[in-house]
């Protein structure tokens, strides 16, 4: 097997964590006879200093022929505002129709939970966030700006096509897991958009008889229940905004930002999908060599799942879990290992 992979290290701790994921990728490739034909793109703040823009004008064309994109992190808020530095990522997600954002929340064995009395047995669910429309569409305006009469309007857009495809994706995901799906909305208070979500769920659920437990939950109850009964969730599907909120909570339940992987998937495979840690460029610890590379390594595992190399991805997850169980930890988890030593610990287990 051979794959063309785009490596996009980005800014801050991005290059450090991606370097470790890259080592793991090549090692697993040797072990499992997978060839990774990688191209590294030096885009981000360094590129901006040299060329006055964050990415070249044809960056989407350069990425388009790849099988997948593995990203470190981007952003350097002291120099450029976030809505500028993150714009290329948003453009990749939208242009490549990466409409499903998948974020597992799974606490590894050997780690303490932030929830008293909970262990790895209780926290293993996946949040699927609609990634292409909803509340984050650029749709609105400000009128009489700065005056006492100022009005701001921002309108979410939910399309039947967009909602149906994310719900079907979530149903298919639940088929591969424990067959339990929870749809999170706020249809008691937002009677147009989210009642349409309810209607579409009712229309399609009969197509998935093997997903035995299908339920609806309002977003306010969902945040409470994530904390109260995390063990009752398997696959959770939500709109762009609610998925955003739920995945930060999921991230901390899964052990923190240093561990949380994520991906933006184009399920039709018409375009490459993008795999990245949930965390950002962490300027507060950048350059110190202490960032936890596990979130990026687990994002690599998700990439291998997507490329249908499940024995490779499983071996990475097992190696990560074994390394953590061994007590190998970076400072964010209370340990003392550097980013590179943490990479060594995972490689040793592989």
Only segment of 40-48, 81-89, 132-140, 237-245 that touches Mg ion (CB under 5 A): 237-245
Q: Strands across the sheet with 35-40, in order?
A: 35-40, 2-10, 68-73, 273-277, 261-265, 100-106, 124-130, 235-238, 180-185, 213-218
Compose the 24-43 pattern: x for residues touching Mg ion by CB under 5 A, - for all others: --------------------
β-pairing verdict for 213-218 and 35-40: unpaired
The distance of closest approach from Cβ of residue 302 to Mg ion in the complex, given in angstroms and rounded to an integer, is 17
Q: Specify burial of residue 291 (Cβ count, 10 A radius: 0-12, 13-18, 19+).
A: buried
**Residue 332 near which of ligand NAI, Mg ion, none (CB within 5-8 Å, type-dependent):** ligand NAI
Number of residues in the chain: 350
**Which of Mg ion, ligand NAI, none is residue 244 near (CB under 5 to 8 Å by kind)?**
Mg ion
Q: How far is the CB of 259 from ligand NAI (least distance, A)?
A: 8
Q: Can residue 97 be called a binding residue for Mg ion (CB under 5 A)?
A: no
Q: Which does 276 bind (CB under 5 to 8 A by kind): ligand NAI, Mg ion, none?
A: ligand NAI
Question: Residue with CB nearest Mg ion?
Answer: 244
Q: How far is the CB of 98 from ligand NAI (least distance, A)?
A: 13
Q: Which is nearer to Mg ion, 125 or 242 (CB)?
A: 242
Which of the ranges 182-190, 242-250, 279-287, 311-319 carries the binding residues for Mg ion, by CB under 5 A? 242-250
- How many residues contact Mg ion, by CB under 5 A? 1
Least distance from ligand NAI to the Cβ atom of residue 31, Å: 25
Secondary structure in 3-state letters for the chain: CEEEEEEEEECCCHHHHHHHHHHHHHHHHHHHCCEEEEEECCCCHHHHHHHCCCCCCCHHHHHHCCCEEEEEECCCCCCCCHHHHCHHHHHHHHHCCCCEEEEEEECCCCCCCCCCCCCCCCCEEEEEEECCCECCCCCEEEECCCCCCCEEEECCECCHHHHHHHHHHHHHHHHHCCCEEEEEECCCCCCCHHHHHHHHHHHHHHHCCCCCEEEEEEHHHHHHHHHHCHHHCCEEEECHHHHHHHHHHHHHHCCCCCCCEEEEECCCCCCCEEEEECCCCCCCCCCCCCCCCHHHHHHHHHHHHHCCCHHHHHHHHHHHHHHHHCCCCCHHHCCCCCHHHHHHHHHHHC
Report the nearest approach of ligand NAI to the CB of residue 2 (Å): 28
CB nearer to Mg ion: pick between 82 and 336 = 82
| Segment contacting Mg ion by CB under 5 A, of 33-41, 139-147, 206-214, 239-247 | 239-247
Q: Which is nearer to ligand NAI, 92 or 237 (CB)?
A: 92
- 74's contact among Mg ion, ligand NAI, none, with CB below 5 to 8 A by partner kind, is ligand NAI
Least distance CB 171 / ligand NAI (angstroms)? 27
Q: Which of 11, 135, 234, 244 binds Mg ion (CB under 5 A)?
A: 244
Q: Which residues bind ligand NAI (CB under 6 A)?
A: 13, 17, 73-75, 77, 82, 85-86, 89, 257-258, 276, 279-285, 291-292, 295, 332
Kindly state the smallest distance separating residue 95's Cβ from Mg ion, in Å.
Answer: 20
Query: Does residue 124 interact with Mg ion by CB under 5 A?
Result: no
Interacting partner of 346 out of Mg ion, ligand NAI, none (Cβ under 5 to 8 A depending on kind): none
Residues that bind Mg ion (CB under 5 A): 244
């Amino acid at each position: 097997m051979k794959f063309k992979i785009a490596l996009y290290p980005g800014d801050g701790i991005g290059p450090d964590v991606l370097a470790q994921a890259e080592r793991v990728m090549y090692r697993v490739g040797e072990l499992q006879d997978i060839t990774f034909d990688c191209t590294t793109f030096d885009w981000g703040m360094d590129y901006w200093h040299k060329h006055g823009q964050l990415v070249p004008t044809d960056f989407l064309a350069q990425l388009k022929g790849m099988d997948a994109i593995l990203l470190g992190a981007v952003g350097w808020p002291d120099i450029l505002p976030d809505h500028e530095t993150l714009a290329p990522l948003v453009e990749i997600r939208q242009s490549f129709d990466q409409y499903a954002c998948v974020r597992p929340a799974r606490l590894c064995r050997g780690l303490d939970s932030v929830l008293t009395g909970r262990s790895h047995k209780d926290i293993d669910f996946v949040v699927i966030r609609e990634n292409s429309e909803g509340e984050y569409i650029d749709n609105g305006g400000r009128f009489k700006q700065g005056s006492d009469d100022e009005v701001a309007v921002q309108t979410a857009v939910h399309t039947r096509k967009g909602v149906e495809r994310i719900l079907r994706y979530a149903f298919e995901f639940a088929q591969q897991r424990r067959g339990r799906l929870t749809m999170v909305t706020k249809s008691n208070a937002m009677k147009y958009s989210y009642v349409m979500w309810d209607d579409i769920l009712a229309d399609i659920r009969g197509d998935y008889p093997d997903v035995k437990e299908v339920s609806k939950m309002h977003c306010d109850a969902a945040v409470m229940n994530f904390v109260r009964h995390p063990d009752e969730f398997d696959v959770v599907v939500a709109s762009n905004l609610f998925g955003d909120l739920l995945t930060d909570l999921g991230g901390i339940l899964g052990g923190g930002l240093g561990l949380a992987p994520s991906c933006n998937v184009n399920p039709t495979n018409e375009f490459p999908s993008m795999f990245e840690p949930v965390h950002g460029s962490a300027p507060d610890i950048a350059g110190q060599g202490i960032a936890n590379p596990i979130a990026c390594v687990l994002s690599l595992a998700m990439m291998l799942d997507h490329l249908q190399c499940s024995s490779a991805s499983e071996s990475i997850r097992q190696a990560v879990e074994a390394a953590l169980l061994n007590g190998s930890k970076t400072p964010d988890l209370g340990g003392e290992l550097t980013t590179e030593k943490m990479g060594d610990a995972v490689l040793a287990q592989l």
